[in-house]
Amino acid sequence: MARLESEAKGGFYPTPSEEMDLILKRLSCVPGESITLLDPCCGKGAALKQWNDDLTSKGAITTSFGIEI
């Protein structure tokens, strides 16, 4: 992507949900396990929510933190 176009978007590049699905298929947890999630560049938080929902559905107890400018 051209620099001017990138600056016009404010550097915002959300992770596509289809790509998150592929990432989340590789993650596992022990049911009842306590997991803390941190997304230091969360944007609107869609990927963090998807990550949180996936681990919760697998039985984890999650706490999530998202940081954005």
- Segment 17-28, tens digit of pLDDT: 999 999 999 999
For residue 1, pLDDT beyond 60: no
pTM to 2 decimal places = 0.80
Contacts 24+ apart (CB under 8 A), 18-27: 20/47, 20/50, 20/51, 24/50, 24/51, 24/54, 27/54, 27/55, 27/58
| 63 vs 10, higher pLDDT | 63
H or E segment and range at residue 46: helix 46-57
pLDDT band at 13 (very low <50, low <70, confident <90, very high): confident
Nearest Cα to Cα of residue 54 among 31, 34, 25: 25
Residue 6: predicted pLDDT: 60
| 5 vs 17, higher pLDDT | 17
